[in-house]
């Protein structure tokens, strides 16, 4: 693991790191904020999964999380959203697919199956690296994310309920297998049979019996992707039928941007920290 940068912030350390990832077969960059409490011993870990077109840098630069993460004593890890670099297949003119749009799946279709293994990266490889190199209490983990990353957070939590104590999302893609802006990517990554997509779809996972104790979701009412891509009411219906508590709040006038995310970031980290407390 190489250190790209480190800076003191709110008494903690904001770092950016790079390593050669075995799962994606390319170098991967990620950000980690370590709060001041970590000087006294391991602290909880909160994973933030970013949305389409993003890298680790979007939330690091615009998410406004460091003060509350420092106050609450949680490490915040922000992975990249896809493999990158020479030899990684991409569609440069398609923001909904390829680099910046890994959708947190393990691709099964050539040529994407060689590099696009973001599920294995964020669920297995990067957590092992974080556990080995940072003062992280891996028995206390939470996950949250935005848009495509909200989709990732929901599916990761539903498939790993014993690992994560909290899961929340900003404007998640709750049913990517049918959404207009994610269905084409699923077909390219996972093949033409929608049955193979269900393990990466939050509503399908709930229908298939997966459970999580509770979810927190914030959604802007002025989000331009609300009707076509996000459709939080589908998650609301799935949770209602399954008896999963869901705190879904429609935020009047807010859009899909980091202005929206940064406004409610403190509430999400505080909510997670309560569930990550010893």
Question: What is the pLDDT at residue 110?
Answer: 97
| pLDDT higher than threshold 90 for residue 234 | yes
pLDDT tens sequence across 80-108: 999 999 999 999 999 999 999 999 999 99
pLDDT above 90 coverage of the chain, percent: 99
Local confidence band at 142 (pLDDT 50, 70, 90 cut-offs): very high
Q: What is the SS3 string spanning the chain? A: CEEEEEEEECCEEEEEEEEEECCCCEEEEEEEEECHHHHHCCEEEEEEECCCCCCHHHHHHHCCCHHHHHHHCCEEEECCCCCCCCCCCCCCCCCCCECCECCCCECCCCCHHHCCEHHHHHHHHHHHHHHHHCCEEEEEEEEEEECHHHHHHHHHHHHCCCCEEEEEEECCCCCCCCCCCCHHHHHHHHCCCHHHHHHHCHHHHHHCCCCCCCEEEEEECCCCCHHHHHCHHHHHHHHHHHCCCEEEEEECCCCCCHHHHHHHHHHHHHHHHHHHCC
Torsions phi, psi of 163, nearest 5? Answer: -95, -40
Question: What is the pLDDT at residue 181?
Answer: 85
Q: Are 117 and 24 in contact (CB under 8 A)?
A: yes
Stated pTM of the model: 0.97
| Residues that are catalytic | 147, 223, 256
| pLDDT higher than threshold 90 for residue 212 | yes
| pLDDT higher than threshold 90 for residue 64 | yes
Closest CA to 49 of 109, 127, 112, 161: 127
Question: What is the pLDDT at residue 202?
Answer: 98
**From CA 37, how far away is CA 43, in angstroms rounded?**
7
Question: What is the pLDDT at residue 72?
Answer: 98
Average pLDDT estimate for 167-179: 97
- Tell me the chain's radius of gyration from C-alpha atoms: 17
Question: What is the pLDDT at residue 191?
Answer: 97
Half-sphere exposure of 254 (CA within 13 A, CB side): 18
Task: Give me the torsion for CA of 118, 120, 126, 128, rounded to 10°.
Answer: 180
Both tokens of 30, joined, read: 């990620």
pLDDT tens sequence across 198-210: 999 999 999 999 9
Question: What is the pLDDT at residue 183?
Answer: 95
Both tokens of 97, joined, read: 């697919």
Local confidence band at 147 (pLDDT 50, 70, 90 cut-offs): very high
Q: Are 63 and 261 in contact (CB under 8 A)?
A: yes
Q: How much is the mean pLDDT over the chain?
A: 97
Average pLDDT estimate for 136-149: 98
């Amino acid at each position: 693991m190489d250190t790209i940068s480190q800076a003191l912030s709110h008494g903690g350390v904001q770092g950016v790191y790079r390593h050669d990832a075995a799962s994606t077969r390319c170098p991967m960059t990620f950000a980690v904020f370590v709060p001041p409490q970590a000087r006294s011993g391991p602290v909880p870990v909160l994973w933030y999964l970013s949305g389409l077109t993003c890298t680790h840098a979007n939330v690091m630069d615009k998410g406004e999380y460091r003060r509350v993460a420092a106050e609450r004593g949680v490490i915040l890890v922000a992975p990249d959203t896809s493999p990158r670099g020479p030899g990684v297949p991409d569609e440069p003119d398609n923001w909904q697919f390829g680099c910046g749009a890994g959708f947190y799946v393990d691709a099964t279709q050539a040529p994407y199956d060689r590099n696009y293994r973001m599920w294995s990266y964020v669920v297995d490889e990067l957590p092992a690296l974080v556990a080995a190199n940072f003062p992280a209490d891996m028995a206390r983990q939470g996950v949250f994310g935005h848009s495509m990353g909200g989709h990732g957070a929901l599916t990761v939590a539903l498939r790993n309920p014993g690992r994560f104590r909290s899961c929340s999302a900003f404007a998640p893609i709750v049913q990517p297998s049918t959404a207009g802006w994610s269905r084409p990517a699923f077909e390219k990554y996972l093949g033409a049979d929608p049955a193979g997509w269900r393990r990466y779809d939050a509503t399908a996972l709930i229908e298939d019996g997966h459970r999580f104790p509770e979810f927190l979701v914030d959604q802007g009412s002025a989000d331009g992707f609300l009707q076509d891509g996000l459709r939080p009411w589908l998650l609301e219906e799935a949770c209602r039928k399954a008896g999963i508590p869901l705190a879904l709040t429609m935020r009047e006038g807010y859009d899909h941007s980091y202005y929206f995310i940064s406004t409610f970031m403190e509430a999400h980290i505080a909510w997670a920290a309560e569930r990550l407390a010893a």
